[in-house]
Amino acid sequence: MEASAEPEQVAAEGETGRHRRDAEVEFARIVAFSDGVFAIAITLLVLPLDIPKHTQDLAAAVWELDDDIFAYVVSFAVIGKYWLSHHRFYGTLERFDNTLMGLNLFYLAWVVLVPFTSEMLGRFSEDSTSTVAYAAVMAAASGTFVIQIAYAYRRGLMKPEAREAQQRFAGPANLLYTAIFLLSVPVAFASTWVAQGMWLAVFLVGRRAVNWIVERSEPPREEA
Amino acid sequence: MEASAEPEQVAAEGETGRHRRDAEVEFARIVAFSDGVFAIAITLLVLPLDIPKHTQDLAAAVWELDDDIFAYVVSFAVIGKYWLSHHRFYGTLERFDNTLMGLNLFYLAWVVLVPFTSEMLGRFSEDSTSTVAYAAVMAAASGTFVIQIAYAYRRGLMKPEAREAQQRFAGPANLLYTAIFLLSVPVAFASTWVAQGMWLAVFLVGRRAVNWIVERSEPPREEA
Amino acid sequence: MEASAEPEQVAAEGETGRHRRDAEVEFARIVAFSDGVFAIAITLLVLPLDIPKHTQDLAAAVWELDDDIFAYVVSFAVIGKYWLSHHRFYGTLERFDNTLMGLNLFYLAWVVLVPFTSEMLGRFSEDSTSTVAYAAVMAAASGTFVIQIAYAYRRGLMKPEAREAQQRFAGPANLLYTAIFLLSVPVAFASTWVAQGMWLAVFLVGRRAVNWIVERSEPPREEA
Amino acid sequence: MEASAEPEQVAAEGETGRHRRDAEVEFARIVAFSDGVFAIAITLLVLPLDIPKHTQDLAAAVWELDDDIFAYVVSFAVIGKYWLSHHRFYGTLERFDNTLMGLNLFYLAWVVLVPFTSEMLGRFSEDSTSTVAYAAVMAAASGTFVIQIAYAYRRGLMKPEAREAQQRFAGPANLLYTAIFLLSVPVAFASTWVAQGMWLAVFLVGRRAVNWIVERSEPPREEA
């Protein structure tokens, strides 16, 4: 019995899910790898802040970086926020499997693109293409994060005490982010300012609004 | 007895292998360093996505990145898959020694080259040289990974319950990857599309096929 | 009782603070992410050390990097010092909450800018603008670090035995750094050498001076 | 008694040294930060491998990278070896203090320079300046590593069982590296090939030779 279960445990470990307590180093590696990607992506945001080598008037050159600095601030806040959500979500997990790791990689593939769209946003701020690309990448990142949450919820990978809260709060909040970013794509063709205003609004009040609505509209089922 | 064993334990710790339980920080460092290299290599993939500074038509410039974005997708998937395999393999280890750490560095030296061959693949997509170089680096990475697995197997560094599965599944699967990538080198001189199709095929069905074959062809010896 | 506390524990975990003992992986991630950002920022300092491709006289080209090497030395020391302070501060914490994590991100946003201001300082060493920008970023980094310390102190996130020492020593020391860097901004318009001399002075004797003053001027209240 | 000891414990923790068992996260951060720096420095080695954008003959352009690829191989091996030594050394520590952390930063400052000297070595391989700069940085790195080992030895930061072996083997080996690299500086002015041959020799047989000499020449004092 034990012997026949062995090959499966390794070859198909994704099928059953492993408890983080039994695989501490392995669980830690998933978050460590993710943290590494987040940390590098957030630090690469500084690269577009670049002064041409033979600048005569340095002060003027710095002022001309205004759009790049704006893009830096927005993108640092965005990746920072993504990291906080990722931190909170993985804090609720007690199991993981191969599928979750794959979904996480898929999510990180969008996070890694942010330095690219951020540079575009700073350099071509007046062109709607950069706003569209930025919104699309953020929508994809938020969307794939929702998929991770939903998967972990359905497969019972979460700590029991966190399960309900995650589903009621984190799920809807990230769905809202995805929806707003998607919606801002067509808006950006009309006005980049309105599109960016939508991002700012969801950034500042998004989670709070979702919590407020969820708490009022739908009473928890497991009341004692 | 104790005293005479001391110099050896440090100077030649590679000869006996240390249990991860007795050297938690040291074991964790190996995977942390590897994770750092993987995370940076995968994030550097974004650097070739670059819009020339004085582009007039931004939307057109983004569309012209099509090959670079294709290379980004392929390489992110490849490094991600390598990382998953590395994660799974180190999860089966219970001991490590200096030789294994050296082999791991040798393996990582190929992983670090992927951002270089990936940039080449995106920029010179119509030239067979870039496909050849890409395939060669991937073959080397997979091959050195097989060597790590074989070494760990022979030196008994694996957890007993994972040993047989690793040998029967992970070994053949990574040998297959190496063979396909090697084979795609001459193919690329004839047609880059066929060569890249071979990569896609092995990526999508490789492990599954190996598992299927192994399970049917060779019954486990330790059946109860 | 338990059930009604659940949603709150996750949704509003920032409100109460979690003990690092109960959330080891989560606490470790905050410092791991911070370490990643510090490590990347400190390593990116090497990028401005760049020799033009078609240099005829390499030795002369290396000597012309003198200002860049000076900027590298200063910035490596600065980020290294920031990291040591961060290391010491998080070593005194026993709890963390969402606000602290947000403040930490806000602090890291300034650390990430150091490679940018450092490159400017090395390349445009004779221009006061680069000294001003450098001082401003350092003042902001030190200032946001003081805010982190003050917040952790007021919310009782520190280990009891570290609380008083942190408040009496780390707080004033980092306030002094912030003040000196702020003060060096107007000074830099007059003389960049005097401004940079102020940095050197605070770097070499700052903490020692603060400790000396604090120890003499204000006796600890909890004497036994 | 307790109360008066508190400020000192935090303000002057460097004076007494903390046991890694009592400060697990703090000890782990030192190696994690170092690992991050090593991992980024080793991955940045790929950046000089760069094909000009409008290359007509890609295969020829790749062959012209021969010196850059040689520099990549050498530098990857060097940083990898430094990391292995660092890993082994920190594995012997059971205590750490602020001075050790400062020395470690000083050491890392040289490691971070390797991508710069490596790029120079690859691009200007025929110029003795690049060999000189490379040897100087490696001598400085090895030398500051010897200082770390000596400090840890004198302050009793090592595990008792590792203490003697470290002093007898690691110390002399790293002193030898420093001497060879220093010696190769004047040699490089005469012949870069001889200088690089010295590096290769020390890389391949250095440690082995030191161990052999030490074991024969000086019998351990604590024999039972």
**Confidence band, pLDDT 50/70/90 cuts, at residue B145:** very high
Query: Is the per-residue pLDDT at B22 higher than 60?
Result: yes
Residue B204: left (phi > 0), alpha (psi -120 to 50), or beta? alpha
Q: How many CB atoms lie within 10 A of CB C90?
A: 22
Lowest-confidence pick of B195-199, B203-207, D198-202: B203-207
Domain locations in chain B as residue ranges: 19-217
**pTM recorded for the entire structure:** 0.86
Residue A186: left (phi > 0), alpha (psi -120 to 50), or beta? alpha
Interface of C with A (CB under 8 A): 1-4, 6-11, 13, 23, 25-26, 28-30, 32-33, 36-37, 39-41, 44, 98, 101-102, 105, 108-109, 112-113, 115-116, 119-120, 123-124, 127, 129-130, 133
Give which of B27, B111, D10, D24 is closest to A26, Cα–Cα. Answer: B27
Which of D26, D29, D30, D43 to mutate to test binding with chain B, by most B CBs within 10 Å of its CB? Answer: D43
Q: How many CB atoms lie within 10 A of CB C70?
A: 14
B5 by Cβ neighbours in 10 Å (0-12 / 13-18 / 19+) ranks as: exposed
Residue C12 has a pLDDT of 37
Which residues fall within 8 angstroms of residue D91, CB to CB, at 6 or more apart? B23, B25, B26, D162
| Cα dihedral across residues A209, A214, A215, A217: positive or negative | positive
Query: Is the per-residue pLDDT at A127 higher than 80?
Result: yes
Q: Do A105 and B84 touch (CB under 8 A)?
A: yes
The enclosing H or E element of A215 equals helix A192-217
Residue D1 has a pLDDT of 31
**Confidence band, pLDDT 50/70/90 cuts, at residue C28:** confident
Residue A169 has a pLDDT of 67
Q: How far apart are CA A34 and CA A28, in angstroms?
A: 10
Residue B27 has a pLDDT of 84
Q: How far apart are CA D186 and CA D189, in angstroms?
A: 6
Q: Which of C28, C35, C91 sits opposite D36 (nearest CB)?
A: C35
SS3 C191: coil
Contact C135, C199 (CB under 8 A): yes
Query: Is the per-residue pLDDT at B72 higher than 60?
Result: yes
Mean pLDDT of chain C: 82
Query: Is the per-residue pLDDT at D216 higher than 50?
Result: yes
The fraction of chain D above a pLDDT of 70, given in percent, is 85
Lowest-confidence pick of A184-198, C1-15, C174-188: C1-15
Which residues fall within 8 angstroms of residue A208, CB to CB, at 6 or more apart? none
Query: Is the per-residue pLDDT at A124 higher than 70?
Result: yes
Contact D17, D95 (CB under 8 A): yes
Helix axes D66-92, D114-123, angle to 10 degrees: 160
Q: Do B101 and D87 touch (CB under 8 A)?
A: yes
Q: How far apart are CA C135 and CA C120, in angstroms?
A: 12
Mean pLDDT confidence for A39-45: 94
The fraction of chain D above a pLDDT of 90, given in percent, is 39
Give the neighbours of chain A: at least 3 Cβ pairs within 8 Å: B, C
Give which of D48, C73, C60, C64 is closest to A53, Cα–Cα. Answer: C64
Q: How far apart are CA C40 and CA D47, in angstroms?
A: 15
- The C-alpha of C68 sits at a distance from chain D's nearest C-alpha, in angstroms, of 12
Residue B8 has a pLDDT of 34
Query: Is the per-residue pLDDT at D202 higher than 50?
Result: yes
The enclosing H or E element of A96 equals strand A95-96
**Confidence band, pLDDT 50/70/90 cuts, at residue A44:** very high
Mean pLDDT confidence for B74-99: 90
Residue B35 has a pLDDT of 93
